[in-house]
Every structure is written in C-alpha cells, then in structure tokens.
C-alpha cells in the first residue's frame, strides 16, 4: 500500500522530520521557489509550512490531493483558511508549542525596557562607564494591563504576579471564570484599561478587529510614562502613533518583538534608545522549535489517518483532554446523523440539537459539526468532512440550531437530542453512551428504546398485536440473517410499535420486500453504520 506524501517547504526541527518519515514519504525542501511548488503541489497529500510560503487560493486549488496544511507556528496569516475550508482541507497550527517561549520573551523585553538593559550594555561595550542615563523603574507595585487573556496572556499574568504587580486585562471573549482563575482584574473596555495601567502588553491575534487597536486615541488616554510591550503581531500597535508618543514622552519606553513590516531592517522606532527591539524571537528557543516541529508533524499524521486533532484552525479549538472526553460523543453524533438519509429522501430544512447534562459544560460545536457530517455522509461520501460539514449544510439551506441544558430530562446523565425537519416529515432522535462508552440510541421518534448503533440495523414499524414479531423473525432466519439484538417499543397499546433490530448480515432490497409482506409490518428499512 502506497504511503501518503508530505512536502515541507520551510525549516522545522529534525525531530519533526523524523516523526513524519515514520508514516509518510517526506520531501523536505526548505526554500523551494513558488513556481516549483506550484508545479508539484498536486503530488502531495499534506503541506507543512512556516510563515514564508503563501498558501493562497492559487496554490490550494492546484493541490488536488491536499488533505491537510500544517503551519509550524502560531498564526495562519499566510494561509487562505476560507479556501481550504471550502475544499475540505484541514488547516492545523501549533499555538501551544511556543507559549512558554513567547511569555518569557515578553518578560525579557519588559525587564530590559524597564531597566534600560540593552542601551546600557551597548554603551558599556563601547568603552563608557556611565550609570546616569540608565536609571530604570521597578515592576513592584505597578499596574500592568494585558490585552488578551488567552494562552500566552494568562501565562504572562501568572509570571507578572510574582513581581507583586497588580494585573488587569481586557478581553471581551474570555469568561469571568478565567479572570478569577488567574487572579486578574477585568476591565469592561480597552479605554478603561488604558487609563489605569503603567505597563501595557499585547497578547491578541491580529485581524481586522485588532489591526491598529492601540492607536493615537488609545495612547492619548494612557498615563504619562507608559511602557508598551508587543510580542504578539506587528500592526496591533500602530507604529506611527507609538513613535509620536515616544517623542512627547507619553510613552516612557517600549519593547518590540514584532513589526508592521517584516523583515524590519529600517524602522523609525529603531532610532529611540528607550526602545528595545528583537527580530520576532518570541518562539525562537531550542525547546519551542523542537515542540513546534514534533507537534505539527503529529497533527499532520493524525489528520491523514482521519483522526481529529486538537489544533485545527478551521474547527473549534479544543484542548487534548477535552477532545479525549468528547471523542466517544463525536462517534455518537456522527452515527445519529447517519440515520436520516438512509431512511428518508427528502431534503432537510432544519436541524435542532440539544446537549443535556454535564456534556453541556464542554465545547459542543464539534458535536454539531460531527452530526452534520454524519447526516451528509450517506449522500456525499468522503467529500464531506469536519472542516466543510457546516459550510455544506449552509449551502444546502439547512438551518442549524444548538442549545444546552445543565440537566438531562431523562435518566441518562448525558443526553443528545436531534430534531430533523423538512416540509414532508420529521425525525426525532435521542442518544447517549452505554456504560462501555459505545453509541446508544435511546429514543426514536418518541419511542423509548435502547439500541447500539453499529453494523446493520433494521428500523421496523409494525402493528402492536400478536402474530407479527414471530413471523418477522422467522423470515429473517429463513434468509440466513442472524438477529444480534431486538428492541421493541410502543406508545399506545394496539397502535403502531417500533422494532430496532441489530443483525449480523446485510439485508438487501429483496429481503426488505419480503419483510414488508409479513402481515402487520407497515415499514422496514435498513441502516448501516460503518
């Protein structure tokens, strides 16, 4: 069996390359030209890049076999994520691999700026012993403002608290519980933060919302003598505004690892002795580079195996522990989704999903996506995956609604309810996990029933009266089809009952027609779970 092929276009740690070689055919060509890459990209199942290779629409469109693009680093500025998503290509990065290094670089720049270390070192090495120009300030007792309390921002917060600083933060997308967890004071607005702090440090992604987030207006609000640190992305702090604030003394000093234009070799900010600059070194430690290389290689391998990975950019972000907990529920919702188009042919107009119980405390978006993937697999095959399932649903006019409930309405600890509707019919399903954490259907259109979702399953409606189930089972025996389990449920005595029958063999159209000929059987359909 031929192995998947991956091309690595920029330098990653040897440990990462060695991991890839264990399962994939690797073409490691650091510095490949764009023209050459465009010519050969159609040969590869995976592409690993850093920040230089432009993974744009042209390149992605030529990658006919591409299944995953791995970015060895934190951002994805050089990757057209939207195009990848529409083509079902997974985009993964390594946001956690350089967290420690980036946090430590922030502290390094802050200390160097506060104590004028770099300028003092340069002067002394030039043969001048003079302490007067280099009197610094202490961090002790100062108020520091963190813009963005995510992975790196929270790590910076814990380190700055050890200096006995008062730590404040503005992040409208982070829960109050996270602020409390890290002992950080929350401000409701960025303006409020700017007016309160002595030191400002940036730890937020660069996007349309955050570009020039710290501009002239924000710096004017700040206290005189502000220190500004940016180890996030260039452009979040407007460089022209910072230059003016440095000239007027509004800003006492700055530590910058990132710039609006990179590589930066000529920048007006370089002329200030109270500005410490480094060439985007936030992730550049031996430890971080090893982790980045190994982590992106692990993710590419998992993606090509068809497994879910934690750091997929075009999927909801999950920690490894959360993914491990949800994995069995992901399998459950996929199988619940598989049911509809194997029973019905009418297009779906609306899907309502409810997650009840402790599971509601988790990130359930991945479960919604898994259900949509399951719905469309019977008609779309491998063209639908976790990356493009929601987009495909939208393109087909399926309205998706999700909600959470803290308590399960039934005896099951966790319960997932799905209501699928169209103009002609509806299908209501409820599922949970068995004690062995296997997918279990517990309600079918209001019929309470417990049936495992595996292999071949007959879904049968019958009249609730004697003399129906016996002939039905006998006919299956005649056809050499073994019944693994049978669950029967009714709503009203003498009405229509439902049988969910797990069988060991495929039931073809001819046998289904024979089953329908049994007196009292009103409907018989087969569902197959892979």
For the annotated catalytic residues, the residue numbers are 233, 262, 280
Closest alpha carbon to 452 in 504, 489, 500: 500
Give the residue among 424, 404, 429, 413 at the shortest CA–CA distance from 351: 429
Omega of the bond leading into 530 within 30 degrees of 0 (cis): no
Cα separation, 223 vs 219, in Å, equals 8
How far is residue 81's CA from residue 55's CA, in Å, rounded to a whole number? 9
CA distances from residue 513 to 4, 44, 262, 501, 521 in whole angstroms, order as listed: 44, 47, 69, 16, 11
Instruction: Give alpha helix (H) positions in 167-238.
Output: 176-181, 190-196, 216-221
Q: Tokens representing 5?
A: 């092929």
> What are the tokens at 315?
């999927």
**Alpha helices by DSSP H, 210-283:** 216-221, 239-248
* Helical residues (DSSP H) of 126-268, grouped into ranges: 151-161, 176-181, 190-196, 216-221, 239-248
Strand order in the sheet with 521-529: 483-490, 496-503, 455-463, 521-529
H-type alpha helices, 55-98: 57-62, 81-86
What DSSP state is assigned to residue 232? S
CA 85, CA 66: separation in Å to the nearest integer? 12
Place of tokens 């490894």: 320
Where does residue 159 rank: exposed (0-12), middle (13-18), buried (19+ CB within 10 A)?
middle
Could you list the beta-strand ranges (E) of 72-189: 90-92, 143-147, 166-170, 185-186
Measured CA to CA, the distance from residue 135 to residue 141 in angstroms comes to: 18
CA 77 – CA 70 distance, rounded (Å):
13
498 DSSP β-pair partners: 461, 489
Backbone dihedral region of 345: left (phi > 0), alpha (psi from -120 to 50 degrees) or beta? alpha
DSSP string covering 494-509: TSEEEEEEEESS---H
**Where do the H-state alpha helices sit in 13-98?**
14-23, 34-40, 57-62, 81-86
Angle between the 14-23 and 286-305 helix axes, to the nearest 10 degrees? 20
Closest among 373, 368, 371, 410 to 392, alpha carbons compared: 373
């Amino acid at each position: 069996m031929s192995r998947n092929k991956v091309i690595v276009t920029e330098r990653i740690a040897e440990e990462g390359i060695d991991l890839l070689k264990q399962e994939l055919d690797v073409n490691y060509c650091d510095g490949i030209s764009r023209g050459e890459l465009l010519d050969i990209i159609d040969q590869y199942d995976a592409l690993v890049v850093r920040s230089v290779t432009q993974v744009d629409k042209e390149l992605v469109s030529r990658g006919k076999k591409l299944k995953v693009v791995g970015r060895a680093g934190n951002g994805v500025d050089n990757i057209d994520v939207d195009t990848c998503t529409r083509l079902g290509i997974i985009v993964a990065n390594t946001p956690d691999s350089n967290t420690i290094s980036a946090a430590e670089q922030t502290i390094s720049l802050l200390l160097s700026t506060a104590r004028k270390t770099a300028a003092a070192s340069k002067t002394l090495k030039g043969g001048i012993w003079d302490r007067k120009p280099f009197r610094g300030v202490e961090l002790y007792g100062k108020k520091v403002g963190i813009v963005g309390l995510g992975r790196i921002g929270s790590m910076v917060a814990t380190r700055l608290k050890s200096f006995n600083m008062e730590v404040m933060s503005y992040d409208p997308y982070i829960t109050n519980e996270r602020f409390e967890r890290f002992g950080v004071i929350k401000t409701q607005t960025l303006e409020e933060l700017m007016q309160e702090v002595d030191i400002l440090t940036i730890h937020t992604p660069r996007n349309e919302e955050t570009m020039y987030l710290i501009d002239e207006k924000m710096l004017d609000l700040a206290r005189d003598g502000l220190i500004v640190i940016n180890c996030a992305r260039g452009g979040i702090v407007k460089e022209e505004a910072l230059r003016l604030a440095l000239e007027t003394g509004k800003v006492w000093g700055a530590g910058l690892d990132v710039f609006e234009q990179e590589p930066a070799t000529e920048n007006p900010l370089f002329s200030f002795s109270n500005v410490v600059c480094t060439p985007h070194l936030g992730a550049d430690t031996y430890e971080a580079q090893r982790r980045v290389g190994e982590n992106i290689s692990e993710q590419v391998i998992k993606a090509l195996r068809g497994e879910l990975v934690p750091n997929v950019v075009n999927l909801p972000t999950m920690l490894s522990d959360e993914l491990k907990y949800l994995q069995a529920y992901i399998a459950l919702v996929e199988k619940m989704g598989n049911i509809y188009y194997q029973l019905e042919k009418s297009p779906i107009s609306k899907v309502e999903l409810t997650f009840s119980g402790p599971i509601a405390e988790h990130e359930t978006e991945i479960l919604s996506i898994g259900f949509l993937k399951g719905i469309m697999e019977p008609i779309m095959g491998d063209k639908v995956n976790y990356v493009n399932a929601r987009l495909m649903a939208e393109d087909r006019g399926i309205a998706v609604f999700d909600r959470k409930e803290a308590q399960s309405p039934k005896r099951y600890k966790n319960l997932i309810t799905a209501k699928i509707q169209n103009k002609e019919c509806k299908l209501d399903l409820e599922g949970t996990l068995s004690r062995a954490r296997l997918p279990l259907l517990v309600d079918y259109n209001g019929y309470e029933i417990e049936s495992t979702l595996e292999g071949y399953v007959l879904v049968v409606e019958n009249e609730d009266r004697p003399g129906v189930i016996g002939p039905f089972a006998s006919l299956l025996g005649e056809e050499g089809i073994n019944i693994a389990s049978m669950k029967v449920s009714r709503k009203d005595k003498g009405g229509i009952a439902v049988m969910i029958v797990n069988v060991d063999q495929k039931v073809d159209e001819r046998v289904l027609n024979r089953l329908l000929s049994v007196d009292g059987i009103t409907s018989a359909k087969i569902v197959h779970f892979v």
